[in-house]
Structure 1
């Protein structure tokens, strides 16, 4: 339908905003995500100062395969444990750390 937004995958990272910004920089270098990746702010929790940061990827088979490969690679480069949260276009959510990265492949349907 005209005006309808494409299906998207939403990604957030626990911890400091710098972790999400680091993932943003990492994902921007992926050719399959060019033109499909955006970032935005989320309202912060009640009583908290500042806001969260969210990455949004237009869902397509190549983009999902890239996410399933790229996010675990980024996680493996972290010097401290980071948790990534992914929400799929159909509303499924998964949270995982570097040692649980297979969960991302499972929720995205990538084998």
Structure 2
């Protein structure tokens, strides 16, 4: 089982998030880059960050804290736009997280808690 993380429409920001998460000792080695599934209406797939839920049990709060900290950092960096981080759960439910909507992180954690001990993985 896995969750998929993407920065909507910004491959450079995805690489920045990847680096940011890799600097966290609790997350280092627990995430990987993978090709995103082709979505209807698109010409191909991009890259996204994938984290196995077995790793999420041990480091889920670190992942969500890392995403929240990265979004806050990007916002204070003086950029005109703050990226949107899309997280897709194993059942295909998509959460879009921005620096302006941190409560979505809590909804995501609640949604993920139901998947932590299940064996099905439609997102894999």
- TM-score, normalization by structure 1: 0.78
Residue 51 of structure 1, CA deviation: 4.4
- TM-score, normalization by structure 2: 0.71
Matched, 1:25 2:26: no
Q: Is the 8 A contact 2:22 2:29 kept in 1?
A: no
Matched, 1:8 2:2: yes
* Aligned position for 2:67: 71
CA distance in 1, matches of 2:63, 2:15: 16
Q: Deviations over 1:23-64 (max 9, x none)?
A: 000011112222211002334822xxx742200012222321
* Aligned position for 1:54: 48
Secondary structure of the residue aligned to 1:99 is coil
CA distance in 1, matches of 2:30, 2:65: 16
Q: Is the 8 A contact 1:92 1:107 kept in 2?
A: no
Secondary structure of the residue aligned to 1:33 is coil
Q: Deviations over 1:74-100 (max 9, x none)?
A: 001112211110012343220121111
Secondary structure of the residue aligned to 1:31 is coil
Structure 1 stretches of 4+ with a deviation exceeding 4 A read: none
Q: Is the 8 A contact 1:33 1:57 kept in 2?
A: no
